[in-house]
């Protein structure tokens, strides 16, 4: 909770990070799609990944990169809450602006309210339960942290394997281009977070935290939404699975707020 208190005192780093996550990255992804012109389903998958919040493995990567770990933890938590509204909004907005991806979204007849509810159940509710449990039963959370983490990673791995297995022929046909697109997209996300913080005049530790936070998306959320709202569409599933960055499932969302991570010293 102290991390949230720090936001009230110095909100600028978090606001810059959220702008990079939910404004700049989706917009730059839209432009990237126009340049490289992937298949419509791959393009929509890239837009979905860009619309997802940060994955909480970013907290540990920020720690090892000697970034501002407290800022990363706070950004992960807040972006998870904001994603309930911004993930469906960004997917609908940017996906609708591209005529090719708009055809897919239109054929699926997506209901934004249904998607918001799904994101809330997958991210918001587990985070709230995790925060409450960590506050009331800190000893239990400390003991359960490792087993829950292992279980979450195992479930996420099954989602990735399932996505690849269900679209294996599509994967073989397009793997070269997908890897290329995912590489460019990941590089774009990392640079977006870093340079947004740099142009805002934030210190180096905050730039590293912003870069990693914007660069690591919750691919598990993306895959679940694809299977629930897009019938496991091949291009979307492959690009999301290939871009998976080791993020954990929603069940692991809450403990990032209650598990101490000692910030690494500044370089």
Question: Please, what is the average pLDDT of the chain?
Answer: 78
Q: Please, which pLDDT band fits residue 202 given cuts at 50, 70 and 90?
A: very high
Mean pLDDT of 234-253: 59
Q: Are 251 and 186 in contact (CB under 8 A)?
A: no
What's the confidence (pLDDT) of residue 171? 66
| Distant-in-sequence, close-in-space partners of 78: CB < 8 Å, separation ≥ 6 | 7, 14, 18
Mean pLDDT of 98-117: 75
Report domain 2-257's class. Answer: mainly alpha
Q: Are 220 and 40 in contact (CB under 8 A)?
A: no
Q: Is pLDDT at 156 greater than 90 in this prediction? A: no
What's the confidence (pLDDT) of residue 254? 40
Mean pLDDT of 111-131: 72
% of the chain surpassing 70 pLDDT: 72
Predicted TM-score (pTM) of the model is 0.76
% of the chain surpassing 90 pLDDT: 26
Mean pLDDT of 175-187: 87
Mean pLDDT of 218-238: 79
The C-alpha angle with vertex 191 and arms to 66 and 157, in degrees rounded to 5, equals 75
- Higher-pLDDT residue of 248 and 211 is 211
Q: Please, which pLDDT band fits residue 133 given cuts at 50, 70 and 90?
A: confident
Mean pLDDT of 75-94: 89
What's the confidence (pLDDT) of residue 155? 67
Q: Are 69 and 261 in contact (CB under 8 A)?
A: yes
What's the confidence (pLDDT) of residue 267? 31
Of the candidate ranges 88-92, 97-101, 222-226, the one whose mean pLDDT is the lowest: 222-226
Mean pLDDT of 221-241: 79
Q: Please, which pLDDT band fits residue 247 given cuts at 50, 70 and 90?
A: very low
Residue 51: how many other CB atoms lie within 10 Å: 28
What's the confidence (pLDDT) of residue 149? 67
The crossing angle, in degrees rounded to 10, of helices 12-19 and 168-199 is 140
What's the confidence (pLDDT) of residue 20? 94
- Closest CA relative to residue 50, chosen from 27, 31, 73, 72: 27
- Higher-pLDDT residue of 171 and 50 is 50
């Amino acid at each position: 909770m102290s991390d949230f208190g720090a936001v009230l005192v110095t909100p600028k780093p978090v606001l810059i990070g959220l702008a990079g996550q939910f404004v700049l990255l989706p917009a730059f992804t839209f432009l990237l799609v126009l340049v490289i012109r992937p298949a419509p389903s791959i393009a929509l998958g890239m837009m979905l990944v860009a619309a997802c919040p940060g994955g909480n493995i970013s907290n540990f990567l920020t720690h090892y990169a000697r970034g501002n770990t407290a800022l990363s933890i706070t950004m992960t938590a807040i972006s998870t809450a904001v994603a309930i509204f911004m993930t469906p909004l960004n997917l609908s907005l940017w996906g609708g602006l591209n005529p090719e991806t708009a055809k897919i979204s239109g054929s699926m007849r997506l209901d934004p309210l249904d998607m918001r509810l799904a994101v809330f159940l997958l991210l918001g509710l587990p985070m709230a339960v995790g925060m409450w449990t960590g506050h009331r039963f800190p000893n239990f959370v400390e003991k359960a942290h490792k087993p829950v983490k292992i279980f979450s990673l195992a479930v996420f791995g099954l989602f990735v394997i399932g996505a690849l297995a269900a679209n294996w022929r599509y994967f073989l046909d397009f793997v070269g281009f997908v890897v290329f697109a995912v590489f460019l997209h990941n590089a774009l996300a990392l640079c977006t977070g870093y340079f947004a913080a740099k142009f805002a005049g934030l210190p180096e530790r905050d730039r590293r935290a912003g870069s990693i936070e914007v660069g690591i998306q919750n691919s598990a959320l993306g895959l679940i939404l694809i299977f629930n709202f897009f019938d496991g569409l091949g291009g979307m599933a492959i690009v999301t699975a290939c871009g998976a960055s080791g993020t954990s499932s929603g069940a692991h969302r809450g403990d990032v707020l209650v598990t101490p991570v000692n910030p690494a010293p500044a370089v």
